[in-house]
A and B are shown apart, each in its own frame.
Chain A
Amino acid sequence: MIFALDFFLRRMAQGLVIIVLVAMLIFTLLRVVPGDPVRTMLGPMASAEVAEQTAQKMGLRDPIPVQFAKYVGQVVTGDFGRSFVRSAQGASTGGSRGGATFDASNRAPVMGLILTAVPYSLLLAGLALGISLLISLPIGIAAGLKSGKWPDRLALYLSSIFVSLPNIWLALVLIFLVSVKGGLLPAIGYQNWTYAILPAFVLAIELSPVFIRSASVAVSSNMLEPYVAAGQIRGLSRARMILVHVLRNAMIPLLNVLGIQAIGLLLGSLFVIEYAFNYPGVGLLMINAVFQRDFPVIQAIAILACTLLVLVNILVDFAATNIDRRLQY
């Protein structure tokens, strides 16, 4: 119990520093790169004076540290602000400036937009992880058990192919072949869960090489450990040794990969894949927000994604420590 408390307090404090640094970086970068959200909001015929007045009213001309301090003050109360361009009544976007358009009550709360999109992304990410594990675990474990033989080479070849396929290209090709030509699966947008299968498959292909490699390395290195031979000498069957002991121990590096690499990769790829499939998750929300310079939405998603990564890392490390108490993080 004391170990767990100490572990979480220490890791949470470290994580908080990372999150603040990332928030600061994103916040500053958004304001120094070209692209004024006010122009997107007001449309092409707005005069320069109106644009400037609106920017000042929204606090966009305050010094960046002042803006950041105000923002942090908001975020610590759980308020991620309101979208610059999306209205309170729906996910509509920019170009308007009538009457009370920019009053906070007429703009969508960022958290509401994210919470609407999150279930779609969770479904997609969950399916992608599931499909990826289904593809990669049998291949990776077989490669680890038959190190240096054909299953190992097959795993290497497959991983090389998978890792060489650009996800956006694969997405377009699969939509064309499977959905347009084959009519086997729906794609583009979202009507029901079957719309998540094709994008999930693309993500799974991207994730698989990492899983195949770590499963194969973890299993093969465990097979060389003395406890495998010792167990068999004491009468345990090879199958039992593999299923009960080797695979269990091999899970530790796999969990690390799942937490650190896979979740990171998944978060990055979700943006591209959701955009390509026009899939209404957090990734599409983020990409559209970038196009429209919707700063509050970009900041919130970046901070939440960073928080998620930090938390997953902490949980994975904690789980690994629990599986094997010799590990120290």
Chain B
Amino acid sequence: MEDYGSQALRRLLEALSDAVLETHAKLGDATAQIDASRIVDVARLLRDDPDLQFEMLTDLTCVDYIEQQPRFEVVYHFYSVARNRRVRIKARVAADVCQIDSLIDLYPSADWMEREVWDMYGVRFEGHPDLRRLLLYEEFEGHPLRKDYPKERRQPLVGPRN
């Protein structure tokens, strides 16, 4: 029986071949590299297509590849409850733009995850209604999980000796 992860990628390529840049299914992890500007189209297809049915966004995170262009990679993990399958979508975001469309209209679970990525990496999610910091405080400057954030840097909210 053919792996559904590969099937999903095939369906994705068939429907949105212009948005998908690259795919692989190494070790059973179906992964597609897509054009960041098409993320909403891809997510809508994954959710609504009767052959795909990825009705759950389980994880949304980001990687800072500081020496590469484009620099940031936003990583989405979708899960199909109906079919018990997963697919991973990656989208590259350039440092000077640093923006990608929000999935909050399709997946409400994107709310806090997008806020966390904004908080830690500074990637803006266009269309998010309330893009505030999630874990850090509002006065914090910068985005600490960026590779160029100095790890010794101190930003005291309270206390004289931090």
**Real binding pair:** no
